[in-house]
Amino acid sequence: MKTNVLALTLLAATISSTVNAADFTPQKQSEKPNIVLIMAEDLSPRWGAYGDSVAKTPNIDALAKESVRFQQVYAMAPVSAPSRAGVITGRFPQTLGLQHMRTTNYPGGGYIGVPESQVKGYPELLRANGYFTYNDTKTDYQFSGGPMNIGPFTLWDQHGSSKNMDDFMVPTAWRNYDLHGKPFFLHLNPQITHESGIFRKEDLLDKKWERLVNRWDKLRAHYNIQLTDPKDIKLEPYYPDTPRVRRDIARHYDNVQVMDQMVGKIVQGLKKDGLWDNTILIVTTDHGDGIPRHKRDLYDSGLKVPFMVHVPKQYRPSWWKQNGQTESRLVSFEDLAPTLLGFSGSQVPDYMTGVDLSKDNATVREYIYAGRDRFDSVPQYGRSVRNARYSYVYNEHTEIPGGYDNNFRNNLGIMQSMKAENEADHLNKQQKIWFEPRPQEELYDKVNDPYELNNLAQDPKYKAVLETMRQALVAWDGSAVDMSLMPESEMVKQILDKDGKQRVTEAPFGHYNSLFKTFSIVNRTQNASIGYRFDDGDWLLYTKALKVPQGVHQIEFKSVRYGWKESENQSYTFQ
């Protein structure tokens, strides 16, 4: 028995040594950069590097010295699924029918979003350009079938599992897979800062969310957290000063500490493996804080995100600042996909409308835009535009306040406390605004009113500014299709088949040329993506006729159009 244990121990040590000694020479020497995108959940710029004195973020603060900190970066939507749908496609979600929160929660029956057939997620375009791509657990693209469903199989070479706690802990994934000599793109998603990470069992109004509380408690147990003192919290003026308000925001800061340690793990791993000098690292979040009056609102508190980028010298465009400096240009998440493709040397599709920041002559934006649509069963159509100084919000449903009853948000103690204070008439004027019907138009001077509380839309002194911002929004809104103008029921009817079911991608056809020893695959579904694998290996992206390796017995292949079901698997056996 002892001999067996010793043998197993030696085997494990040998395997461990092999993994740790992995040769990343191809990734170190690649002319294309490795790229790591860390996108945390539900978090405004609550990092020490952004001037937050309460935040305990030593790893991110150290990273700031080796990166450029962008000061004016905004999501396209103030909630995760539409925001992430926009990021992965490089398009505003309402132009693709991906704008509602979320498609699977539609009161008329959940559905899978179907973008235009030519639209591909940028990870698939990176794969087509020779990259190994990986995503840990969070997806939420609206055409993926849910927040953890992986979506079209052609997006990722490998991905984590929501059933595996290690994958929630932001793995150094380049060490865990055969990269096939390719540069890598990793999409890592620290989820601990999600709104549900603030939930407490004693506050839950719906006990089904205990599973989330248990998950985050289990995750936090792996990290060293210096508990934030609620007394140290600096409350924004729209919050009442109550114990539960302070307590929940303090927990949010505790969760930020976990996220910070996750970032530190990735930075240390890249440096240890000699990859730092050939890897672009972006650290950001999907939208603003997951607390009331932030997430789901079209204010800076819901849209503005931290955005820190480390770019090795050989990849920097001419306008790029030096490490440790800040960049004040306006940046939209609309710009992220074309920028990632640009840095990788991939072709940026014409349908992507954002700015490629990898270019020497990258356009400097004058305006940033965002949208808000249905949340669960509540219509919330709104659009916003902002420039360097002013922000403008147009509200369609003026009868619905920002503090409306949201069943998920109501599980927050901070939300329950704010509602109680409002019902008891204990809120001051600034704190009451969020619970009152919205005005149709809102205009804010962010220099003199950074919390966007003093609406100037009716002030005659700002008539010219109001008209300028109106016209900027009208010009943008009229420049592209807005699927929110169509009733969601009709949109869903059009994307389903005649029987009201999700459409199915046609099966592809394969042909083997025995003379040239090549295998070609075609498909009749317009712009469907095609994948294949040899002898039960990993699924690979098909981009051109394949040279069949010697000794291969069989090829399997299938197709998928985003938002449709995959085709049936096809196969061919080589003689």
470 and 541 belong to one structural domain: no
369 inside domain: no
Total number of domains constituting the chain: 3
Amino acid at site 475: A
Confidence (pLDDT) at 523? 96
Residue 459 structural domain: 382-495
481 and 557 belong to one structural domain: no
Q: Which strand (E) or helix (H) includes residue 510?
A: strand 509-513
214 and 103 belong to one structural domain: yes
Task: Give the residue from 446, 470, 495 where a domain finishes.
Answer: 495
281 inside domain: yes
Residues in the chain: 575
375 inside domain: no
Instruction: List % helix, strand, coil for the chain (3-state, nearest 5).
Output: 35, 20, 50
129 and 166 belong to one structural domain: yes
Q: 547 forms bridges with which residues in the sheet?
A: 518
Q: Would you list the DSSP string of 65-89?
A: TTSEEEEEEE-SSSSHHHHHHHHHH
Task: Give the residue from 449, 469, 495 where a domain finishes.
Answer: 495
Pair of tokens at residue 334? 């609309």
- CATH code (residue 77): 3.40.720.10
Q: Would you list the DSSP string of 91-117?
A: S-GGGTT--SB-GGG-TT--------T
- CATH code (residue 530): 2.60.40.10
71 and 148 belong to one structural domain: yes
Confidence (pLDDT) at 6? 37
Give the C-alpha separation, 563 to 360, whole Å.
36
257 and 134 belong to one structural domain: yes
Contact indicator for 497, 563 with CB cutoff of 8 Å: no
Confidence (pLDDT) at 21? 53
55 inside domain: yes
376 inside domain: no
Task: Give the residue from 495, 528, 556 where a domain finishes.
Answer: 495
226 inside domain: yes
Confidence (pLDDT) at 513? 96
Question: 40-52 burial by CB neighbour count: b if 16+ within 10 A, else e?
Answer: bbbbbbbbbbbeb
Amino acid at site 327: E
Confidence (pLDDT) at 18? 40
Instruction: Output the tens digit of pLDDT for each of the chain's 575 residues.
Output: 333 433 433 344 444 334 445 899 999 999 999 999 999 999 999 999 999 999 999 999 999 999 999 999 999 999 999 999 999 999 999 999 999 999 999 999 999 999 999 999 999 999 999 999 999 999 999 999 888 999 999 999 999 999 999 999 999 999 999 999 999 999 999 999 999 999 999 999 999 999 999 999 999 999 999 999 999 999 999 999 999 999 999 999 999 999 999 999 999 999 999 999 999 999 999 999 999 999 999 999 999 999 999 999 999 999 999 999 999 999 999 999 999 999 999 999 999 999 999 999 999 999 999 999 999 999 999 999 999 999 999 999 999 999 999 999 999 999 999 999 999 999 999 999 999 999 999 999 999 999 999 999 999 999 999 999 999 999 998 788 899 999 999 999 999 999 999 999 999 999 999 999 999 999 999 999 999 999 999 999 999 999 999 999 999 999 999 999 999 999 999 98
Q: Please tell me what DSSP assigns to residue 360.
A: T
12 and 138 belong to one structural domain: yes
565 and 448 belong to one structural domain: no
Residue 109 vs residues 46, 80, 392: alpha-carbon distances, Å:
37, 20, 34
Q: Which strand (E) or helix (H) includes residue 249?
A: helix 243-272
359 and 407 belong to one structural domain: no
520 and 491 belong to one structural domain: no
* Helix axes 210-220 and 243-272, enclosed angle (nearest 10): 50
487 and 410 belong to one structural domain: yes
Q: Which strand (E) or helix (H) includes residue 127?
A: helix 122-128
By the 10 Å C-beta count (0-12 exposed, 13-18 middle, 19+ buried), 552 is classed as middle
Give the C-alpha separation, 63 to 324, whole Å.
9
Give the C-alpha separation, 191 to 219, whole Å.
10
What's the gap between Cα 305 and its chain centre? Answer: 11
pTM: 0.95
Residue 372 phi, psi (nearest 5): -140, 135
SS3 assignment for 480-494: CCCHHHCCHHHHHHH
100 and 190 belong to one structural domain: yes
Contact indicator for 392, 386 with CB cutoff of 8 Å: yes
- CATH code (residue 403): 3.30.1120
Residue whose entry in the numeric block shows the structure tokens 């932001």: 170
Omega prior to 374 cis, within 30 of 0: no
Name the pairing type of β-strands 158-159 and 132-135. Answer: parallel
How many C-beta atoms lie closer than 10 Å to residue 346's C-beta?
Answer: 19
374 inside domain: no
Instruction: Tally the C-alpha atoms within 13 A of residue 383's C-alpha that lie toward its C-beta.
Output: 20
Q: Please tell me what DSSP assigns to residue 436.
A: S
Q: Which residues contact 422 (CB under 8 A, 6 or more apart)?
A: 403, 431, 432, 435
261 inside domain: yes
Give the C-alpha separation, 472 to 468, whole Å.
6
How many C-beta atoms lie closer than 10 Å to residue 28's C-beta?
Answer: 16
Confidence (pLDDT) at 575? 84
Q: Where are the alpha helices (DSSP H) in 412-498?
A: 413-423, 429-432, 463-477, 488-495
